[in-house]
Amino acid sequence: MTKAAKRALLAACAMAGLTASADTHPHVFAEARLEVTATPDGMVDRLRHVWRFDPVFSSTVLFEFDADGSNALEVDELEEVARTVSGSIAEFGYFQSVTVEGKDVAVAEVTDMRVDMIDGQLLILFTSQPVTAVALADNPSIAVYDPTFYTAIDFYDEANMVLIDAPAGCSHQMVIPDPDEAIAQNQDTLTEAFFNDPEGNDWSKIFATRMEVSCT
């Protein structure tokens, strides 16, 4: 395995939460922004994501991907980070979930993953789109979270979760679940298997910050 491949593997494992020592609490922290845009006929158009990572993880990425030792990430190195991140989180739905009436809607492959390093913090930007049409009138719920619990993706302000160009009568709210309430509300589905094998189950979704759309 080449040195570059080893770096990519390490970063992929970190982003996907697959390191041998990982357990069920966050090791990486990111401040997030989500913009959901709508089409003129009231359909979900794009989900625009921006994640700004903590300085410690950002410095780790810099160390792993700074191939020329310049203490900065050049264009080709940033592109390598973007490819690694995109590949490692694709199997996790790009750390997002779109549900309509309790049913998951798959998202299409992300093709515009971009990465930058600003003021010592890693910045990741990308857009996604549901594979099948989603109408705002169906009151979709859109969550952003890492199902492995390795990365905490947090919205520090309601202004960082916005709905753009929605038809009249449609609004949204940012919901941050209370852990105790989330467990109580989902007690019937949180079987012993969920707690014995947390990494093998997507129960982290019930704790995810989400946008709930409501149209009248």
Tens of pLDDT along 112-158? 999 999 999 999 999 999 999 999 999 999 999 988 878 889 999 99
Q: In the numeric block, which tokens belong to residue 124?
A: 């990741």
Distances in whole angstroms, Cα of residue 194 to Cα of each of 68, 112, 187: 44, 34, 11
Q: Are 167 and 42 in contact (CB under 8 A)?
A: yes
Q: Residue 183 in 3-state DSSP?
A: helix
Tens of pLDDT along 46-88? 999 999 999 999 999 999 999 999 999 999 999 999 999 999 9
Write down the domain spans for the chain.
23-53+93-215
The one-character DSSP state at 2 is: -
Q: In the numeric block, which tokens belong to residue 67?
A: 């191939």
Residue 3 has pLDDT above 60, yes or no: no
Q: Are 65 and 7 in contact (CB under 8 A)?
A: yes
Q: In the numeric block, which tokens belong to residue 38?
A: 């709508």
AA letter at 121: Q
SS (H, E, C) 117-147: EECCEEEEEEEECECCCCEHHHCCEEEECCC
Distance between CA atoms of residues 51 and 12, nearest Å: 16
Confirm whether pTM is higher than 0.75: yes
Confidence of residue 95 (pLDDT cuts 50, 70, 90): very high
